[in-house]
Amino acid sequence: MNNLSKRRKFSMPSLWGCACIFIVIGCNKDKGTTDEATVSEVGSGIVVIQAYSYPAESGSVGVAYVSIANAGPGDDRLLSVKSPVCQKVEMHDTINEEGVMKMKHQDFGFAIAAGKELVMKPGGSHLMLLGTKAPVVGGQAFKMTLNFEKADALEIEVQVNQ
């Protein structure tokens, strides 16, 4: 996401919009993913399989990919996400609209059916970190809270890839 730092300051909505598209393009380049998985578990059967991010400048937009398995007996839904590293976390999907990759904000979060996995990845569903409060630095980790429809809220560590 180093490309973000080269962009000039725009008004916030326009910056975010542009950054979003930029991130999709940026992430489609094969950067490889980390093998360092962060695994957490709660009684409801919700298991975080992997959580990683990439470096981002302060006051910009970052991205995080969190993959979650629902090993419980019932369907659940990731309703909202918070992190102390940014002002707001949005849940986005990426859609191909006539050859143009676009972000789609998921107002109702991500459904995770019983026995299924929600796999976030570049070019697919992801978490957008809007208004980063400090630089997101490669090699470090930051906290994130996942709120579900049924399962208890889960606090996880997101590893920042270099």
* C-alpha separations of 159 from 56, 144, 156 in Å: 13, 11, 10
Residue from the set 46, 48, 91, 103 that interacts with Cu ion by CB under 5 A: 103
**CB 57, min distance to Cu ion, A:** 16
**CB 11, min distance to Cu ion, A:** 18
Select the span of 65-73, 91-99, 111-119, 152-160 touching Cu ion (CB under 5 A): 91-99
**CB 21, min distance to Cu ion, A:** 9
User: Judged by CB under 5 A, how many residues of this single chain contact Cu ion?
Assistant: 4
20 binds Cu ion (CB under 5 A): yes
- SS3 string of 34-91? CCCCCCEECCCCEEEEEEEECCECCCCEEEEEEEEEECCCCCEEEEEEECCCEEEEEE
89 binds Cu ion (CB under 5 A): no
What residues contact 63, with CB distance under 8 A and at least 6 apart?
1, 23, 27, 53, 54, 56, 126, 127, 128, 129
Select the span of 4-12, 19-27, 30-38, 146-154 touching Cu ion (CB under 5 A): 19-27
d(CA 3, CA 19): 9
Residue number, nearest CB to Cu ion:
92
Residue from the set 66, 69, 128, 129 that interacts with Cu ion by CB under 5 A: 128
The contact set with Cu ion (CB under 5 A) reads 20, 92, 103, 128
